[in-house]
Structure 1
């Protein structure tokens, strides 16, 4: 691959191929044979008589003996829609010349993820949560700016998640996880030693609390619980922007998925007053743009056969003989359950005039009150895409038409975007709207929720030199909805209960219950000189070069640091 040209056949990417969900569940739940481990391989075939891109499944690993076409990509991709690789980038000599002439000025100016089989108390809540696409679309008065559009998945997001900085990107007591990828720039797998970090975090906000301080209206007591969450974090750097992706797990059984943005803005020459950006430095402007994030959430609530419904909150006018005002009706709230039977009905566009809860539940199971166990989807990062349908790049992001969409799960619809979207987004290889347009029945089926988050960014002077994370976080939550008999966090020991001790009508002392947790002991991370470790092993934090070939180091000879 190191000697490949645009007219060569070579491997662009090799990664793990996910077996069918049914085979996975039969293995982990029913004791069936483990599905074979296979690789998903993308071949760029520039040397063929009719050049194209082909996706195949190779296996079984580690000693493959055959291959087959990827089921959901049975036809070759046209060569003009191939992802652009380092083979086609500008030459190293040109890069060196640019760095020599402009490197100091640029330095002075500016200074990946999928989770599977998520369980709570031994029961599967989610089969898969995965980032599908990071996209951004810019505007301007010059042609170059007008054509700035980025589908970041084409840059292989997994390769962009690395070099997490100890004590800054992740807490001092975090544990790090590594990843391997094979891309077209090397024949050796890429080893990302710090692609993920895992840590527990005290949020500083009580998970619950109540203070009954009045002796006349209720018993006097205080009860509260520390909110400690488990966080899995990765940070994806795609050229100028950094995306902090957090998967956060609460002791209530709730799950939060959060995206936070930092990095440097794309700047352009400000030659005149225009509606596309402020002049934030001399002759410099930041371009107005929209960030969009899309996630796949395959929930399995008490099994894989679920339904989607909205709990619509409506006005209720009822008469009451005790109501003495001129209007004889009392205005109050009620809710109505609205089952969504098909995919088109389940494509949700937010309407503030019709508040509602979005719930995925299992209708085959009911508690003693007749309630069905479910989880509620709460999208706190909703955005509205103002591009008219079918215009400009919109066909490549038809998922952005909906804040939440629910479809029938299919192995041939594994993702809402692809690495081929950028080259011809008006005729995308993956068109998410097709997932909806066949309008299949989704009642008591294996279903998937697709969530869109995003925001509009008009850069200002405070975005120089780096955009800070304050106020730049978006989240969606998966929250229990009649799933448990009570809040499962009640079983946690991170709580405190205080009751007064009264003797002869006077408060003499307090009874403090900490449920076996000693109050004067805190877990303190061991001291470690991380700067010395970085100096001895620079590849933990920067991309290392081979001194002889001036190429990126691809092997995994550098050992990651692990807490003992």
Structure 2
């Protein structure tokens, strides 16, 4: 995690520890209607709005001396409100906050209007039933002091011959919910530790295995220490950024320059982007990170909507080691750690190449003050090979057109892993999401014959795990009334209609209700899902549609009765289809941290609403099952996963017939 030491509370906590009181505010807390007359309903929160939200909460007595902002985000208006919006309409700018009293553990979820200066709702959360607020950056920093002050933990280090605690790196990790005695309702982290040989040494190479501390963040103490076994601390270093370790850089790579002499083909107006026939809005959420709004594509003189909102609403990383030190390792990187808060500042020439436009992100820190991350989102276009080609035998015509795509990307660092989220828009109407996983493997001491880890360096293990993402796709294929058909290949048996055995066809199954909308991918059947608008026929009389093409990898592998299966039920299926409800935002529920399970999609679909020709949302689970390789140490080359949305009868013919042939050779020696 990125630790912000200056964002830690200081003053008086439950155990007398320093907790800095929130300063009383004198800021203007009058209604902000004067600022919102020309603001789009989905515009990203500004620094001024974050300051105004903090002032508004303070004015209404919601901020005490030990209150922290675990989350502050735009409360997006309902879809019908946004779709009815016209430029110049007054907008009710609302925010949602999760407030945590770090002295008592009491948390509240608050919705307030910045436009009217009113608080709409205040809900006190029951931590045993509702879960805990997300983990704050300052809490990660606090853990270092808490464990190093604990006599039992210090003794465990001494048993392993570790005396210089300044070189020990306690790694705070989400605790999950396992119904362990005395844990329900407490705000906890579990802490594994790593050893650095010196301050600049990467500690992931030296796990101090066999010991884990359970930390109560409100009481600021270690409540339990599991010192299971003494294991050697791996010695070999893994400093991938040290020339002494990696050797001299190769000199064989020649420069590749990306040039657009006439400038980029896109235009940006605030959050609104136009490129070729595409129009959409860029959003950024502290929990989900990069969000795309209102994607439409021009066709036949009108903008035709495809997607109202697209985001990665959750991701879970369950580990496979069942031992007493690591059985609890399951991380929800969005709901527990807040993907948006872990966003990187991107660097030109490293993260993005070409003619780049950057969007900054503004986030609220624990004190409710704005924190700006420059270059958080990268926008650029790139060549993507051949779009279409044909050399005709009879006419002699030889035509080739090149594909191009617009890239909207963002990178986050969550502990040891780095994730790049790349949305691609193509000239032919295709939408694609690619997630790039890189960074450093989470490590352990390796035991010979270990059935749950790979040895990646001498004595160094990398436990097996999964990276499972849930994409929330609020579909509007030519309008808000959509339906979903599951399309499977069917092999026709030999018989009177198929005497030579060569026949196969495709069968469609309409998903009529939410009870039918939880589906599994099946690569053997070539399974895809078609989202159509029954009220919008194409020129052939067929409903216009888009295909969701999954990669069809494994979903959650944990036992159905396990804690993680209850908490991450969304990851047990490849697809869920629900009726749109503005309150249903997250596949694992609102407060994921230490939630006992059953929230999110299982609760949403219990109503069994109709999804045939309705306003619907698709939730697509995708990802990878990671059996680490030695080639992924000490830093992991990018591994990719994702999905594709592709037009299927949406257009009346190939929509790229008007793409001109390329004229530049792009070759210095041709």
TM-score by length of 1: 0.78
Q: Secondary structure at the residue paired with 1:143?
A: coil
Verify the 8 A CA contact 2:386 2:402 in the aligned structure 1: yes
How many Å separate the matches in 2 of 1:98 and 1:317?
Answer: 65
Unaligned runs of 5+ in 2: 1-6, 15-65, 149-164, 170-195, 204-236, 242-288
Partner of 1:440: 609
Please, which of 442, 452, 457 is the counterpart of residue 281 of structure 1? 457
Once the two structures are superposed, what CA deviation does each residue of 1:443-467 show, in whole Å capped at 9, x if it has no partner?
Answer: 1110001111111112221111101
Is 1:16 equivalent to 2:183 in the alignment?
Answer: no
Partner of 2:326: 145
Please, which of 628, 638, 641 is the counterpart of residue 459 of structure 1? 628
Partner of 1:68: 120
Please, which of 238, 243, 246 is the counterpart of residue 109 of structure 1? 238
Please, which of 334, 338, 359 is the counterpart of residue 530 of structure 2? 359
Pairing of 1:164-183 with structure 2 (within 5 A): 164-183=346-365
Is 1:316 equivalent to 2:492 in the alignment?
Answer: yes
Partner of 1:370: 541
Pairing of 1:88-487 with structure 2 (within 5 A): 88=139, 89-90=142-143, 98=168, 102-106=198-202, 109-110=238-239, 111=241, 112-121=289-298, 122-140=303-321, 142-153=323-334, 154-184=336-366, 186-203=367-384, 205-212=385-392, 214=393, 218-316=394-492, 328=499, 330-380=501-551, 382-418=553-589, 420-424=591-595, 426-427=596-597, 430-469=599-638, 472-487=639-654
How many Å separate the matches in 2 of 1:11 and 1:105?
Answer: 33
TM-score by length of 2: 0.66
Verify the 8 A CA contact 2:71 2:134 in the aligned structure 1: no
Q: How far did 1:351 drift?
A: 2.9
How many Å separate the matches in 1 of 2:80 and 2:13?
Answer: 40
How many Å separate the matches in 1 of 2:666 and 2:627?
Answer: 47
Verify the 8 A CA contact 1:5 1:87 in the aligned structure 2: no
Partner of 1:84: 135
How many Å separate the matches in 2 of 1:400 and 1:263?
Answer: 23
How many Å separate the matches in 1 of 2:501 and 2:629?
Answer: 49
Please, which of 7, 10, 14 is the counterpart of residue 3 of structure 1? 10
Q: How far did 1:306 drift?
A: 0.8
Unaligned runs of 5+ in 1: 497-517, 523-564
Once the two structures are superposed, what CA deviation does each residue of 1:132-181 show, in whole Å capped at 9, x if it has no partner?
Answer: 11221113364222222211112221121122122111114221110101
How many residues matched? 476
Q: Secondary structure at the residue paired with 1:23?
A: helix
Partner of 1:545: none
Q: How far did 1:521 drift?
A: 8.3
Q: CA RMSD in A?
A: 2.7
Verify the 8 A CA contact 1:309 1:338 in the aligned structure 2: yes
Once the two structures are superposed, what CA deviation does each residue of 1:421-472 show, in whole Å capped at 9, x if it has no partner?
Answer: 2424x435x3321222322111111000111111111222111110101xx1
How many Å separate the matches in 1 of 2:354 and 2:430?
Answer: 25
Verify the 8 A CA contact 2:471 2:619 in the aligned structure 1: yes
Q: Secondary structure at the residue paired with 1:416?
A: coil
